Amino acid sequence: MSQAADAQTTLERLAALRGAMARHDVAGLILPSSDPHLSEYLPAHWQARQHFSGFTGSMGTLVVTADFAGVWADSRYWEQAERELAGSGIALMKIGSGGAVAHFDWLAERLPQGATVAVDGQCLALGQAQQLRDRLAPRGITLRTELDIAGEAWAARPSLPAAPIFEQPQPYADRPRAVRLALVREAMAARSARWHVVSSLDDVAWILGLRGSDVPYNPVFLGHLLIGLADAQLFVDATKLPAELKAALATDGVRIAPYFGFAAALAGLPAEAVLLDPARVTLGTREALSAGAPTVETINPSTLLKSRKTDVEAAFVREAMERDGAAMCAFYAWFEAALGHERITELTIDERLSAERARQPGFVSLSFPTIAGFNANGALPHYRATEAAHAEIAGDGLLLIDSGGQYLGGTTDITRVWAIGQLGDAQRRDCTLVLKGMIALSRARFPRGTLSPMLDAIARAPIWAECLDYDHGTGHGVGYLMNVHEGPQSISKAVPNANMAMEPGMITSNEPGLYRPGQWGVRIENLLLNVPVEANAFGDFLGFETLTLCPIDLRCIDTRLLDAAERAWLDAYHAEVLRRLRPHVSGAARDWLEARTASLGGA
């Protein structure tokens, strides 16, 4: 399709939107990247923003008025958005640039008093809805949330995904469904709640011990869950459930109801206290409840429960890490041998690395789209190579690869930088500073209950010491055959709250970085498990067990900048990587592993 044809189509789509807006007397429309489950990855059915704007980035908000259309996107999408929006008449509104105005402030300033703005309350987090109202109300602008303007204007809207749902297989599922439901009900009772609504797909899947593949990367399925103290209802497309699974759910007191029957069921609840998480249910869900129903607004109990992996789960994660590390070895052994002999691009890397993971026992899918960025591309933390734009790995420089897999027994996420040809001192210095930050956090101990954001400065200190920094968090929670990004903990500049207390069994990424725009990027990432170290009068102390197993390329490191403790950590890590991965690799991969885990003494 030519650009002109694209632009024509987008113009027609915008005209249809404006027609629907006019029918409802709506002056401004907001189309965010969101669905009724507030997910990271959206089924096509809810990709309205992409459909009507032509911008395919994973985050962005389309705003339409009678004489304006604009996409608000942050810096990682500017280049892509400029390309995709060219000729459409849709403006790119750069979030985070100097003088940038948030889309709601833009609407508040441009629309006349008395105007109406619409946003679909079915796809808007309850917590955000109040903020939006607070911005628009002082300007005399009414917010309507009950209209699905995009749905009205959307010809040939894709249907909902229909991938089958399956039980989390044994022996990987540590606790029976009945136990999980009992734990959630215990938390409900402690908050005096009689009901609990769950719309976030990872929470639904965890509570029920089920998995699916309705969206890429996250092994979840579309469904809402309504939990009472005695029974529960799963709102789901029943055709996705095998008969024996239906029976098993019935045994555990979980009834099946139509996916779109969720709102009606909420409306029919007695006026008893409902526990809900304002960050993880939509305004539509709150409004479906009778206005008089008392609510207990708190974090989903399952978010806390699933963040603490059991000992059984942790043991399977260690196994998955060995498989994942073996795949990395096989890939890197091929890569280093092939480099200079065959043409390798960022896309080839994704293909070969994904193929190595797919060969591993227990592999389910990738856990997120592979980021393989050579030199300047590595400086874009969320870079993704495309057919249209990607680099060949040739000459000198740094290759950053951030990748991960879903396994039946865990979820992985690993970043390494690799030396290509000759490196300069500046590149080695950057890699070494990032490694120092990564090691400092890996070695940290802290009292149980420490709020995770308080640990962020430990990883940054060695980088700050050289007046450098990175503009992303240091770590995110990671699921168990589940979303690679999960809460409640986050090692970052987030404002701490009590839900972010570090507890045994949590898995968190450790991924400081350094980015030189137009030159190169560095990020080194391992996953860490919270493990008890010692309990004494000063507290119950936790430390980190490094789960990720893969050599760190010492050719990128200026070992003279490491102190004795850092050198000892690196040697111990490489010894452990060798010990754990050697049984899982052979031939060239084994040779490569042995070469790349040599101790610093011999380096």
d(CA 188, CA 586): 51
Stretch that binds its own copies, among 192-200, 417-425, 445-453, 575-583 (CB under 8 A): 445-453
Cβ at position 450, least distance to its own copies in Å: 8
Among 469, 572, 583, 586, binds its own copies (CB under 8 A): 469
Residue 134 touching its own copies (CB under 8 A): no
Beta-carbon contacts of 383 under 8 Å, excluding residues fewer than 6 positions away, are 76, 371, 373, 377
Q: How many residues bind its own copies (CB under 8 A)?
A: 36
Among 100, 541, 567, 582, binds its own copies (CB under 8 A): 541
What is the CA 244 to chain-centroid distance, rounded? 32
Among 564, 587, 601, 602, binds its own copies (CB under 8 A): 564
d(CA 322, CA 315): 11
Among 23, 24, 359, 445, binds its own copies (CB under 8 A): 445
d(CA 381, CA 387): 19
Cβ at position 495, least distance to its own copies in Å: 6
Residue 86 touching its own copies (CB under 8 A): no
Stretch that binds its own copies, among 14-22, 247-255, 332-340, 528-536 (CB under 8 A): 528-536
H-only helix segments in 72-141 = 78-85, 103-110, 126-136
Residue 456 touching its own copies (CB under 8 A): yes
The two tokens of residue 583 are 């049984």
Torsion of CA 553, 557, 559, 563, to 10 degrees: -100
Stretch that binds its own copies, among 83-91, 148-156, 258-266, 536-544 (CB under 8 A): 536-544
Inter-residue contact 416 to 524 (CB < 8 Å)? yes
Beta-carbon contacts of 411 under 8 Å, excluding residues fewer than 6 positions away, are 320, 367, 404, 405, 478, 479, 480, 481, 482, 483, 484
Residue 467 touching its own copies (CB under 8 A): yes
Among 533, 572, 595, 603, binds its own copies (CB under 8 A): 533
H-only helix segments in 209-341 = 243-251, 262-267, 283-288, 301-307, 311-338
Q: What is the DSSP secondary structure assignment for residue 208, as one 8-state letter?
A: H
d(CA 327, CA 370): 14
Residue 137 touching its own copies (CB under 8 A): no
Beta pairing class for 61-65 and 28-31: antiparallel
Residue 105 touching its own copies (CB under 8 A): no
Coil/strand/helix, residue 171: coil
Residue 388 touching its own copies (CB under 8 A): no
Nearer residue to its own copies within complex by CB, 2 or 538: 538
Strand partners, 196: 227, 275
Nearer residue to its own copies within complex by CB, 4 or 537: 537
Cβ at position 379, least distance to its own copies in Å: 12
Cβ at position 546, least distance to its own copies in Å: 16
Residue 98 touching its own copies (CB under 8 A): no
Among 2, 159, 239, 536, binds its own copies (CB under 8 A): 536
**Of 120, 98, 96, 115, nearest in space to 17 by CA:** 120
Residue 572 touching its own copies (CB under 8 A): no
Residue 458 touching its own copies (CB under 8 A): yes
Site string for its own copies, 402-441 (x = CB under 8 A): --------------------------------------x-
Backbone angles phi, psi at 439, to 5 degrees: -65, -40
The two tokens of residue 458 are 């430990």
d(CA 194, CA 295): 10
Nearer residue to its own copies within complex by CB, 272 or 466: 466
Stretch that binds its own copies, among 42-50, 61-69, 330-338, 530-538 (CB under 8 A): 530-538
Among 455, 506, 524, 529, binds its own copies (CB under 8 A): 455
**Of 411, 504, 508, 402, nearest in space to 453 by CA:** 508
d(CA 452, CA 446): 10
Among 112, 230, 538, 560, binds its own copies (CB under 8 A): 538
- Give, as ranges, the residues between 473 and 512 that touch its own copies (CB under 8 A): 493, 495-497
Helix axes 201-208, 177-190, angle to 10 degrees: 120
Q: Which helix (H) or strand (E) covers residue 411, if one does?
A: strand 410-411
Nearer residue to its own copies within complex by CB, 78 or 541: 541
Residue numbers of the site for its own copies (CB under 8 A)? Answer: 440, 443-447, 450-451, 453-458, 460-461, 464-465, 467-469, 493, 495-497, 517, 533-534, 536-539, 541, 563-565
